[in-house]
Structure 1
Amino acid sequence: MLLKTRVLISILNVVYRILKWIYMFIYKKSSQNIPPATNPLFTLSATMLAKKIRQREISSYEVVNEYIERIKEVNCHLNAVVDNRFEEAIIEAKVCDEQLKTEKFDTETLEKEKPLFGVPFTVKECIAVKGCSYTGGILSRKEIKATRDAEIIELIRNAGGIPVCVTNIPEWCLGMVIMNPVYGRTSNAYDSRFTAGGSSGGEAALLGAGASLIGIGSDAGGSVRLPAMFNGVFGFKPTPGIISTKGHLPSFDINNQNFTTFGPMTRYAEDLNLFMKVLTSKSRHNLHLNVPVDLQQLKVYYLQTMDNSLGMLPVSSEIKECVLQAANHFKNHGIHTEQLPIEWPANVAEIASASTLSVLNMYFLIDEIHDPMLQKYIFVELGKSLLGMSSYTKQMLFNIMLLQACFPFSKSDLSCYTKKGEVLRQKLLDLLGEDGVFICPTFQSSGILTNFTYCETLGIAYCAIFNVFGFPATQVPMGLNRDGLPIGVQEYIQLQVIAAPYQDRFCLAVAKELESAFGGWVPPSAAACA
């Protein structure tokens, strides 16, 4: 960040660390106490459950009903679910079972054409699910329901998936705290003192609590990967452009679509691959997801921290060690592994922020709220919110104000850092080519205290830089830290410079390998006992 801003942030970081220590001393324990899931069904992946349903070893009704009961059990702790279609989902599950009894579909046909047959899934509230809440967290849209499914939901339904509920988001998807004036705040699945992460935090919390199998989020700067990390699950940001984003609130203009995408969130790595096959079934880009990945042919590069410059909070020692362990795993298996050999810039936060602001059309986003006063008098509205007199949250208004002002960049700054980003992107593409994997932290710490999210905002650059570059990226849970919070590692796979990197399958294969080696998702109840 510009020097004066960096100095100011450094001073604030000192204050933040003191306040954080005091807060953690006062609130020594989380009030979160997610009840354990005792049914063995919850230990099975969506891939395995779909197979068992096809083979009539278990009924779709049983699976859907058990997950509905689990959602009811944990949602009183999380406030993650904002609307549901439980009755409709039960009916649809029974229809699936009846179709199997009458042999309307054979097993082979289902596996090929409806690989999610009878499997429940959940959805971020800002993605249209017909008949469900579709407010974007905006009070003026309260009671609005989606009149049709988003294209991505149609794909999943056509593959046999059964939508069960929609989950909470920050107001207009702007913020790291899942809070809006319509549905309130969502808690982290592991520790209520920490944020569930934005903006797909409702999905991540429900998944982390073991109350969902597969979910759909959206990622414009880490909005799938960060919540997935904070709640200990897998989150995947595919190559942009391969999945339609129609039906999202707020909608994306043509520029935003270059780095914003829908992405799957799961508890088990193999479900990412299954889900991606469904989501890209109508795509004109062939990702070759059915082609096996030979890990021995990969080149693995790693970096334990991406920005140690003035003002950036340091990456925790646990996360650094986590990245190193992942790298050593591949090295010990004879796979080419080395620390990233190119010079990494010290101003990643500036590059990520400037490049995003260069294409982000905030006026386009505000216009969709249909409140002319908001665009003209944003400062007045922010002042009203500080006095509790606004219908908007301070979080959204403050973010809009900063983004509109392109704070703290001038036009020349935006141009300069955008060009630096293009140079860095090219270096990574040249290095990684068609067989490279880059492992680095998803974030600088394992969690953010809900009351101090702005103090760690610069850490978003760890994810946002890869939205800017258009690289696919997956968040991989790598166990728990000493405080019982999830630790994540993020992989970034890049392709040739001639096109956007459509080798998403490398991300999925490496995620599955790391899950096998390190265990993957750990239920919150197990974390509490640790």
Structure 2
Amino acid sequence: MSVSLVSALLCCSAATVLLLRWRRRRKVQRKVEEAKERRERALERMLKAARKFKEPNPGHKPEPILSFALPELCGKLRDGSLSPENVLYAYMDQALKVTRDVNCVTDYLEDCESQLLHVKSQGKKGLLYGVPISIKDSIDCKGHDSTLGLVKHLNLPAATDAVVIQVLKHQGAIPFVKTNVPQSLLSYDCSNLIFGQTLHPLDHSKSPGGSSGGEGALIKSGGSILGFGTDIGGSIRIPAAFCGICGFKTTGGRISKKGVIPSIRGQKSVAAGIGPMAKDVDSLALSLRALLCNEMFRLDPTVPPLPFNEQVYSSSQPLRIGYYVTDSFTMPSPSMRRAVLETKQLLEKAGHTLVPFKPCRTDDFMCSISAKGLFADGGATFLEGFKGESADPKAKELVLLAKLPNWFRSLLSCIVKPISLRISKMLTSLNERSVKELWELHTEIEEYCQEFIGEWRRLDLDVVLCPVLGPAFKIGLPGRLSVGASYTILYNYLDFPAGVVPVTSVTEEDEEELKSFRGHFNDMWDKVFAKAIQGAVGLPVAVQCVALPWQDELCLRFMKEVEKLTQEKSNKN
């Protein structure tokens, strides 16, 4: 075979490969364009539905409706002083305004109008009768995509509602929109190549957090009174903290996950939790009263039949509270630290006992256990979601790390070891493991959990008060600091219920103190953290409340106490 013929064949092969790649990219781009157009049409239908209601009802005033807290709104719906139509279209109109500002709604659930008629025709009124609710993208709603921000999940509408949606409808709720998430869910930013970047409602240069970031932005802006998200590393708690609302991650098995699409299918090292997001704790509690009912236990018999424990939630007994201001891995920002200490003082003045508590071996947990669990397959399952499509710029760093072969990650680990020991450890933790190594890891997780509980029991604690990541990061920087979730992901591995309550906001003094921030290690991650939270004066700061597994009501009761004391202090000032 002549050289010229070989050259021609090689050129043809290269041209064919390039042509196939171009065609694949063009196909993906068309799907994205179609999805964007479909969303615009859905929002247009939503707008028409709202106008159709308003035209024959010129006296309709949404402002008073939007001002009610959920328990009060439920009362007015049940006694008939408010109609479900007035409430649904008030929130529909507000959600449209909000999403035009911060880009948080991804889909309009058109069957909310038939659900409205169904709710009104029922003789028995459920606990959430007539309440419009928003739903995170990854929770299945019949006839709609659950994209996870990935093109490959487009045009695959769910055949049925997730169990949690079925139960909410059974209780009279009206799901009306789905909300935005980061690509693949494994980020606490909120951006993907299909629906774009969701912005922080108080500062458009900041992220609303993730992965339930669309929920956080919508609820904070008044476009929804109650939303539901998922949490595998802080995905409810971080956006709630960033946006200044309340969010709660239940014990992993407390609410059905049937019909909820996970970020990494099949992994069992870390427990995901489902939970509500709202502006106050009583709203969270009300939503759990509604969910923890016989209908859920019937639809999903794998969920333990534990109804909401009113006695625990309504108790006023003084609590014995452990607290810490740092996990010794991610140094808290000045405002994070101040939030915990000020809350500690309020709790002590109210008669509770506060006891210093130190989380066990957090550095070892984050650098060894945490990354190993999520990426025990070397990131292969995570990367499946990106086959044939581009990574969002906010996710590119994690995707690149997952693509590196084991030998190269090990080489990088050796190179960066003199600069940052924890980055070096984290790199090797991403390597693929054998089944035997995975079982050893699960044993290590179990032993760590028992060690943690042992210290909790030794101090005779009821609950723990600690920081949650905050204030809100600048857009793009969460993807460079996944380890910033150390305060939240810990309680997914332990499978403890945990929630967040906003207690203060960033002050000029906090911002000034941040100038001398060095972190615990003064490495690249500490520098990125300081950069990410700069320029946050006035943004909300929250604290995290934690209880032992299955003590969800006790955790909520603690959150309610923190909220009450914070509000009392605010009213005095």
Q: Is 1:519 paired with 2:531?
A: no
Q: Relative to 1, partners in 2 of residues 1:257 and 1:213: Cα closer, same or farther, differing over 3 Å?
A: farther
Task: Between the two structures, name the one with larger relative contact order (CA 8 Å, sep ≥ 6).
Answer: 1
Match of 1:446 among 461, 468, 471: 471
Measure, in 2, the Cα distance between the counterparts of 1:473 and 1:162.
Answer: 26
Contact 1:207/1:214 (<8 A) preserved: yes
Greater shift after overlay, 461-470 or 258-267?
A: 258-267
Shift, 1:352, TM fit: 3.3
TM-score by length of 2: 0.71
Measure, in 2, the Cα distance between the counterparts of 1:432 and 1:242.
Answer: 26
Residue in 1 that maps onto 2:190: 178
Q: Relative to 1, partners in 2 of residues 1:290 and 1:296: Cα closer, same or farther, differing over 3 Å?
A: closer
Shift, 1:131, TM fit: 2.2
Question: Counterparts in 2 of 1:238-387, with a 5 A limit?
Answer: 238-250=250-262, 253=265, 255-256=267-268, 259-281=271-293, 282=297, 283-286=303-306, 288-293=308-313, 294-307=315-328, 312=330, 314-340=331-357, 343-345=358-360, 348-360=362-374, 367=381, 374=387
Task: Give per-residue Cα distances to partners, 1:282-324, cap 9 Å, x unaligned.
Answer: 24242652224434342112111212x5xx4x31222222112
Question: Counterparts in 2 of 1:415-434, with a 5 A limit?
Answer: 418=445, 421-422=448-449, 424-431=451-458
Measure, in 2, the Cα distance between the counterparts of 1:276 and 1:66.
Answer: 24
Contact 2:264/2:381 (<8 A) preserved: no
Measure, in 1, the Cα distance between the counterparts of 2:121 and 2:163.
Answer: 27
Shift, 1:401, TM fit: 4.7
Task: Give per-residue Cα distances to partners, 1:104-128, cap 9 Å, x unaligned.
Answer: 23xxxx3xxx101110100011111
Greater shift after overlay, 398-407 or 259-268?
A: 398-407
Q: Relative to 1, partners in 2 of residues 1:226 and 1:353: Cα closer, same or farther, differing over 3 Å?
A: farther
Residue in 2 that maps onto 1:13: none
Measure, in 2, the Cα distance between the counterparts of 1:316 and 1:367.
Answer: 34
Shift, 1:92, TM fit: 3.0
Residue in 1 that maps onto 2:416: none
Q: Quick one: which amino acid aligns to residue 557 of structure 2?
A: A
Shift, 1:397, TM fit: 4.8
Task: Give per-residue Cα distances to partners, 1:55-76, cap 9 Å, x unaligned.
Answer: 1011111111100000011111
TM-score by length of 1: 0.76
Shift, 1:366, TM fit: 5.4
Question: Counterparts in 2 of 1:157-236, with a 5 A limit?
Answer: 157-236=169-248
Rg (Cα) greater in structure = 2
Q: Relative to 1, partners in 2 of residues 1:122 and 1:56: Cα closer, same or farther, differing over 3 Å?
A: same
Q: Quick one: which amino acid aligns to residue 329 of structure 1?
A: L
Measure, in 2, the Cα distance between the counterparts of 1:349 and 1:44.
Answer: 44
- Indicate the SS of the match to 2:476: helix
Contact 1:188/1:195 (<8 A) preserved: yes
Greater shift after overlay, 409-418 or 88-97?
A: 409-418
Q: Quick one: which amino acid aligns to residue 448 of structure 2?
A: G
Segments of structure 2 that go 5 or more residues without pairing to the other structure are: 1-60, 298-302, 407-425, 508-536
Q: Quick one: which amino acid aligns to residue 354 of structure 1?
A: S
Shift, 1:168, TM fit: 0.5
Task: Give per-residue Cα distances to partners, 1:189-221, cap 9 Å, x unaligned.
Answer: 211111111111011110111111111111000
Segments of structure 1 that go 5 or more residues without pairing to the other structure are: 1-36, 375-380, 382-389, 495-500, 523-530
Measure, in 1, the Cα distance between the counterparts of 2:383 and 2:159.
Answer: 18
- Indicate the SS of the match to 1:462: helix
- Indicate the SS of the match to 2:541: strand
Shift, 1:361, TM fit: 5.5
- Indicate the SS of the match to 1:438: strand
Q: Quick one: which amino acid aligns to residue 217 of structure 1?
A: G
Q: Quick one: which amino acid aligns to residue 272 of structure 1?
A: L
Residue in 1 that maps onto 2:505: 480
- Indicate the SS of the match to 1:171: coil
Shift, 1:253, TM fit: 4.9
Residue in 2 that maps onto 1:141: 153
CA RMSD in angstroms comes to 3.0
Q: Relative to 1, partners in 2 of residues 1:337 and 1:369: Cα closer, same or farther, differing over 3 Å?
A: closer
Q: Relative to 1, partners in 2 of residues 1:454 and 1:277: Cα closer, same or farther, differing over 3 Å?
A: same
Measure, in 2, the Cα distance between the counterparts of 1:135 and 1:364.
Answer: 23
Residue in 2 that maps onto 1:66: 90
Residue in 2 that maps onto 1:408: 428
